[in-house]
């Protein structure tokens, strides 16, 4: 009975006040679960943080791979149960943004273009099963500057829509394919929700393409196993 009374009291209590429209959330209200905090529009506030907060390094579960995330302390490492990955991070419980890394063996060519084509072919099959439609990609060719060497990097810039029983929304994203260890493919993907704030989501995506994608790196000179979870 006491638990029931507590539950009723919680449901009948007033929610905490929101900030005025356009104002950032109060620092104490920003959490890993809700990086938009008490802003009047938490989705806008979360995306805004992704355009302004500094980068910091996070790793895969095996501490072999370093990747850059903005506002890094408010991302949660998660598992994609139906599609194992090397590392996946989610920004907020409402999935304001997602970063995923795949590292697999390949029996064919292992250059970035071949790996991107291989990944795209496999990913499109999985995407359709989840109600995801993706437009024609725009390719960006650049390089990774790892200090002692430069490596080719190919990035497909994408827009898509999810229409499923659980989610209906627009997304913008990108998929980067890297020159990695022989006979392997290393691919990193990023997506941000864009249904309500497309221009802001595109700014977040473009920042990732320019600043984060080229900074993915292996933390050891020894080829790691192609483990996933």
Q: Is residue 144 part of a domain?
A: yes
Q: Is residue 206 part of a domain?
A: yes
pLDDT higher for 16 or 79?
Answer: 79
Q: Give the number of domains in the chain.
A: 1
Q: Is residue 177 part of a domain?
A: yes
CA distance 180 to 173: 22
User: Is the model's pLDDT at 88 over the cut of 70?
Assistant: yes
- Please enumerate in sequence order all residues whose Cβ is within 8 A of that of 156, keeping only pairs 6 or more positions apart, or say none: 116, 120, 137, 138, 139, 140, 174, 175, 176
Q: Does pTM top 0.85 for this prediction? A: yes
- Domain residues for the domain of 84 are 55-218
Q: Is residue 99 part of a domain?
A: yes
CA distance 12 to 10: 6
User: 122, 199 in Cβ contact below 8 A?
Assistant: no
pLDDT in tens, 146-160: 887 899 999 999 998
Q: Is residue 45 part of a domain?
A: no
Q: Is residue 82 part of a domain?
A: yes
């Amino acid at each position: 009975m006491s638990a029931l009374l507590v539950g009723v009291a919680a449901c009948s209590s007033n929610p905490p006040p929101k900030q005025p429209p356009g104002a950032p959330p109060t620092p104490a209200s920003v959490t890993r679960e809700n990086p938009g905090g008490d802003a009047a529009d938490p989705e806008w506030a979360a995306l805004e943080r992704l355009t302004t907060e500094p980068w910091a390094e996070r790793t895969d579960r095996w501490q072999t791979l370093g990747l850059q995330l903005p506002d890094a302390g408010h991302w949660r490492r998660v598992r994609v149960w139906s599609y194992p990955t090397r590392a996946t991070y989610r920004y907020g419980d409402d999935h304001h943004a997602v970063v995923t890394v795949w590292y697999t063996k390949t029996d064919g060519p292992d250059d970035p273009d071949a790996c991107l084509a291989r990944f795209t072919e496999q990913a499109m099959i999985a995407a359709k099963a989840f109600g995801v439609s993706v437009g024609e990609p725009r390719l960006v060719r650049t390089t990774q500057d790892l200090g002692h060497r430069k490596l080719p990097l190919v990035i497909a810039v994408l827009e898509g829509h999810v229409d499923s029983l659980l989610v209906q929304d627009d997304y913008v994203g990108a998929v980067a394919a890297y020159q990695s260890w022989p006979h392997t493919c290393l691919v990193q993907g990023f997506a941000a929700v864009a249904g309500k704030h497309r221009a802001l989501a595109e700014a977040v995506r473009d920042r990732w393409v320019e600043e984060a994608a080229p900074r993915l790196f292996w933390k050891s000179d020894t080829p790691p196993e192609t483990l996933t979870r």
